[in-house]
Chains A and B, each alone.
Chain A
Amino acid sequence: MDKTFNLIINGVGGQGVITLLWLIDKAAFAQGYDVRSSELHGLSQRGGSVEVHLRLGKKINSPLITNGKADLIISLEMMEGLRSISKAGKQTKFLVNEYALPFQGSLSLQEIRAKLDSLGGRLRIVPASFVCKEKLQNEIVSTVYLLGYAVANNLIPIKKESVLEVIKEMPEKYRDLNKNAFNLGFSNGK
């Protein structure tokens, strides 16, 4: 891969964005890429909109993605997915969790969906939270499910094996859960 790959992950503070970022960073590093990501903690994290950037390629300088240059946007929440359309380029693909955390000023699900649908073939909406809750009794790993889905559909230049290797570095009590979520996302994505 010659070109830098630009990934934006957004959602609501507390949805597990940072763990997902760490997982992709480590997998990219294992695959020999240069990688940089930028994250936010604290005030910006408590239930507000969160947007983090991850870039991988031959040589990365800035940890920030210039507006319009994202290759993929993974949204952990539908309204936040919609919000990120404003910064997307014509090439930007979207992988959106079919999950809503309403707040004062939220649009209705139908409205969000209708607006997202304008993206056409660049959009995939996946019921990650729903499936993870049903099959794994845990919603937070929907982030890892989405990664499995993205890997299965070649939406991201990350290999299945490298993600599974990184999951082995997680604390033991979370390992199986994350592995299962990833595999589930991968097989449902195929």
Chain B
Amino acid sequence: MLKKDVLLGNEAIIKASLASGVSFVSGYPGCPSAEIGDGFAKIAKENNVYVEWSANEKTAIEAAIGASFSGLLSLVNMKSFGINVCSDALLPLTYTGTKGAMVIVVADDPSCWSSAQSEQNSRAYSFLGHFPMLEPCDPQECYDFTKLGFEISEKFNLPVILRVTTRAAHQRAIVEFEDATGKKTAGNFIKNPHQFSTMPPRTLEMHKELLEKIKKLSAYVEKSKANKIVGSKKSKIGIIASGVAFSHTMDALEQLNLDMSILKLGFFYPLPEKLIAKFIKGKTKILIVEELDPYTEKEVASIAKIANPKIKIFGKDVLPEVGELNPELICSALAKITGKKYKKFTVKDLGLAKRTARLCEGCPYWYILPTIKRIAPEGTIFGGDIGCNMMGALPPHSMYDYMFCMGASIGISHGIKKASPNQKVISFMGDGTFFHSGMLGMINAVYNKSNPLMIIMDNRITAMTGHQTNPGMGKTIMGEDTQELQIADIAKACGVKHIKVLDPINIKELEETVKEFLEKDEVSLIVCKRICALLARRMGIKQ
């Protein structure tokens, strides 16, 4: 039965997955994708869906591959950078193909609203691994394209990437959806090493099989309703738009009172080349509206060489390559191309101080960052990581000398110690990040006889993304009890000789330990263990 309601893009993805018969959900929390895993956890039991937060995105995709090979439908969810972490396992997956259908949600964040390390455009992964990729513009398409993704995956035995952006995933709008409930599905792994094992010369055969699949998929994509032409058919100027940039384009046309022919691409890969060729025939100008890199623009330019060599192609010459798009930017671009007048609104500079994100009231990190900044010898290098500890880069702390990706603070500090042994280096990291990928950097530092000081700020949860469970908590995403992994035990087993677990509220103990450990010739570790203040308040724990 169809139902209509206001849904968040991420909620629409959940509804569509249920309607498609998903029974296995794995992922790693990040913004703007975390509501998918969180949302599934709330409804998993009554819908017979297995759901987990995995240790990182690579283990998430590997878990889903196992489920898929056992015949289950799976959904994997992560933010943009997650696809980098899992790419090693992802690339062979298009070679082996899936058995049970699989949709992988990758949530990019143009303008870096909730991201630090880069303004990643994950569309490029389609070129790297031949992943069919769909780009929804709003919550309704989040729903429609998730369903379509499962259908395509089922039909072609390929994993399908649903590439969303913040403005689609975190947009709320009216969605028409089937309010389906899950049914119990048991997996069964039927041995088939011919299909599931990559080993040359079979690998080359698989590569060939993949290209043949993509050829068939391309023919399917040419006819798919996910790519559509809207607006006046007569206009000599055309627009090709994708994702939320399409919605902004429609708004811009309305503001300028223009009626133009628009090809809205639901597929980024494979592109409907014949449809594009047909669309640009007879047009004098074409504007490509896409966020970040001009991938589509380049493809259209190559199609135009044969289909319409005289056409003038506009794209990143009139639209920015940095930052998300909005109706205003597209109005300006359209004005340049059509000669129509458009007066851009001037934003007055009021000279007000910026209010940046900061640690919450009562956050245990307030004991750690200022203390260490104060007592560390002059010139000490501080490395930051991803998570709430990122606030160490912002006022009032402003202390990080470098910041990269999940788990990198320790990895880089080891390199600095090797390059410049006389400088002191302290790396900061949260508990979730340690389990995600920080452990490996620690092992590398121990193995290669380095001596940075690691501070793990263990606030007992993955807090930044909205309080998700991690392997250090003794709880699964479903709230069930599980093994509580001890960071100090892991470090000890990995050969770290100097380990101290303390409550950072004991500032004196923290100070003394930092001073002592900074003199060590081996890797040292301080685990500052104290619960996130928001979590404590929510759980009614008196501090």
- B354 near A44 (CB under 8 angstroms)? no
Contacts of A85 in B (CB 8 A): 348, 350
Interface string of B390-417 (1 = CB under 8 A from A): 1100011000000000000000000000
The residues of B that contact A64 with a CB separation of less than 8 Å are 167, 248, 251, 326-327
Q: Measured between alpha carbons, how far is A83 from B113 in the docked complex, in Å?
A: 18
Docked Cα-Cα span, A104 to B247, in Å, equals 38
Q: Report chain A residues within 8 Å CB of B326.
A: 62, 64, 66
The answer to whether the Cβ of A35 comes within 8 Å of any Cβ in the partner chain is: yes
Count residues of chain B with CB under 8 A from any CB of chain A: 52
List of A residues within 8 angstroms of B395 by Cβ: 104
Q: How far is the CB of B520 from chain A (nearest CB, A)?
A: 34
B347–A47 CB distance below 8 A: no
**Chain A's nearest CB lies how many Å from the CB of B474?**
25
Kindly specify which of A19-27, A123-131, A136-144, A178-186 makes contact with the partner chain: A19-27
CB distance from A144 to the nearest CB of B (A): 17
Decide if A66 touches B345 in the complex (CB within 8 Å).
yes
* One of B43-51, B169-177, B296-304, B521-529 contacting the partner: B169-177
State which of A22, A48, A106, A115 has its C-beta within 8 Å of the C-beta of B357.
A48
Q: Which of these, B170, B247, B391, contacts A46 with CB under 8 Å?
A: B391
CB-based contact B391/A63 at 8 Å? no
A190 at the interface (CB under 8 A from B): no
The answer to whether B360 touches A14, judged by C-beta atoms less than 8 angstroms apart, is: yes
Asked if B353 is at the interface (CB within 8 A of a chain A CB), the reply is yes
Task: Give Cα distance in the complex from A43 to B391, angstroms.
Answer: 9
Given the known interface contacts A25-B172, A66-B327, A104-B353, the answer about A43 and B360 at a Cβ–Cβ threshold of 8 Å is: no
Which A1-57 residues sit within 8 Å CB-CB of chain B?
Answer: 12-14, 21-22, 25-26, 29, 34-49
Question: Is the pair A49, B31 in contact by a Cβ cutoff of 8 Å?
Answer: no
Decide if A79 is an interface residue (CB 8 Å cutoff). yes
Known: A29-B174, A38-B171, A66-B345. A44 touches B353 (CB 8 A): no
Annotate B405-438 by CB proximity to A: 1 below 8 A, 0 otherwise.
Answer: 0000000000000000000000000000000000
Establish whether residues B174 and A43, one from each chain, have CB atoms under 8 Å apart when the complex forms.
no
- Whether B32 pairs with A42 at a CB distance below 8 angstroms is yes
A110 sits at the interface (CB 8 A): no
Contacts of B466 in A (CB 8 A): 41-42
- Provided the pairs A62-B250, A64-B248 are in contact, do residues A12 and B31 lie with their beta carbons within 8 angstroms? no
CA distance A80 to B354 in the complex (A): 10
B152 CB → nearest A CB, Å: 27
Selected contact of A49 from candidates B348, B355, B465, CB within 8 Å: B355
Tell yes or no: B255 within 8 A of A by CB.
yes
Sort chain A's interface into a size bin: 35 or more
Are the C-beta atoms of A82 and B350 separated by less than 8 Å?
A: yes
- CB < 8 Å: which of B114, B172, B251, B354 contacts A62? B251
Contact A68 B345 (CB under 8 A): yes
B354→A46 contact, CB < 8 A: no
Return the contact of B170 from the options A39, A66, A89, A105 (Cβ within 8 A): A39
Q: B358 on the interface (CB 8 Å rule)?
A: yes
Instruction: Tell me which residues across on chain A come within 8 A of B166, comparing CB atoms.
Output: 40
Q: Please tell me if B543 contacts chain A, counting CB pairs below 8 Å.
A: no
A87 contacts the other chain (CB 8 A): yes
**Pair B350/A34 contact, Cβ less than 8 Å:** no
How many Å from the CB of B378 to the closest CB on chain A? 24
CB distance from A20 to the nearest CB of B (A): 12
CB-CB < 8 A to B390: which residues of A? Answer: 43
Q: A40-B113, A41-B170, A83-B350 are in contact. Are A104 and B34 (CB under 8 A)?
A: no
> Closest residue to B328 on the A side, CB-wise?
A66
Q: Decide yes or no whether B192 CB sits under 8 A from chain A.
A: no
**Per-residue interface assignment for chain A, residues 105 to 119, with 1 indicating a CB less than 8 Å from any chain B CB and 0 otherwise:** 111000000010000
Q: Would B6 and A29 count as touching, CB distance under 8 A? A: yes
Find out whether the CB atom of B360 lies under 8 angstroms from the CB atom of A35: no
Query: A49-B354, A62-B327 in contact; A40/B170 too (CB < 8 A)?
Result: yes
A156 smallest CB distance to B (angstroms): 16
Q: Mark A82-110, 1 if CB is under 8 A from B, else 0.
A: 11011101000000000000011111000
Chain B residues contacting A42 (CB-CB under 8 Å) are: 30-32, 34, 113-114, 464-466
Q: Which A residues are in CB contact (< 8 Å) with B247?
A: 61-63
Once the chains bind, are A63 and B171 in contact (CB under 8 Å)?
yes
Complex Cα spacing A39 to B173, Å: 11
Whether A44 contacts B357 by the Cβ 8 Å rule is: yes
Q: How far is the CA of A66 from the CA of B116 in the complex (A)?
A: 26
Interchain CB contact (< 8 A) of B352 among A21, A39, A62, A107: A107
The one of A21, A29, A47 that contacts B5, using a Cβ cutoff of 8 Å: A29
- Interface membership of B483, Cβ < 8 A: no
Pick from B174, B358, B465: contact of A48, CB under 8 Å:
B358
Given A25-B6, A35-B174, A42-B114; A12-B167 close (CB under 8 Å): no
**A46 and B358 form a contact (CB under 8 A):** yes
Q: Which residue of A lies closest to B254 (CB)?
A: A61
Q: Which of A46, A62, A67, A83 contacts B345 (CB 8 A)?
A: A67
* Beta-carbon contact of A86 and B464 below 8 Å: no
Cβ A86 vs Cβ B360 within 8 A: no
Are A86 and B345 in contact, CB atoms less than 8 angstroms apart?
no
The answer to whether A46 touches B349, judged by C-beta atoms less than 8 angstroms apart, is: no
Closest partner residue, chain B, to A30 (CB atom)? B6
What residues of chain A lie closer than 8 Å to B113, measured between beta carbons? 40, 42-44
Contact A35 B6 (CB under 8 A): yes
**Cβ of B3 to closest chain A Cβ, rounded Å:** 12
- Of A43, A48, A66, A67, the residue contacting B355 (CB under 8 A) is A48
Q: How far is the CB of A44 from chain B (nearest CB, A)?
A: 5
- Kindly name the residue among A25, A47, A61 whose own CB sees the greatest number of chain B CB atoms within 10 A: A61
> A163 to chain B: closest CB distance in Å?
14
Which B residues fall within an 8 A CB radius of A? Answer: 5-6, 30-32, 34-35, 113-116, 138, 166-167, 170-174, 244, 247-248, 250-251, 254-255, 326-328, 331, 345, 347-350, 352-360, 388, 390-391, 395-396, 464-466
Subset of 15 A-B contacts with CB under 8 Å: A22-B6, A35-B173, A39-B172, A41-B466, A42-B31, A42-B34, A42-B114, A43-B357, A43-B464, A47-B355, A48-B357, A62-B248, A67-B345, A85-B348, A103-B355
Q: Which 7 pairs between the two chains have the least Cβ-Cβ distance?
A: A105-B353, A42-B31, A42-B114, A62-B251, A48-B357, A68-B345, A61-B250
Since A40-B113, A44-B113, A87-B347 are in contact, a sample of 14 more A-B pairs with Cβ atoms closer than 8 Å, ordered by chain A residue number, is A21-B172, A22-B6, A38-B170, A38-B171, A41-B31, A43-B113, A48-B357, A63-B247, A64-B248, A66-B345, A83-B350, A86-B349, A86-B350, A104-B396
Interface set of A (CB-CB < 8 Å, partner B): 12-14, 21-22, 25-26, 29, 34-49, 60-64, 66-68, 79-80, 82-83, 85-87, 89, 103-107, 115
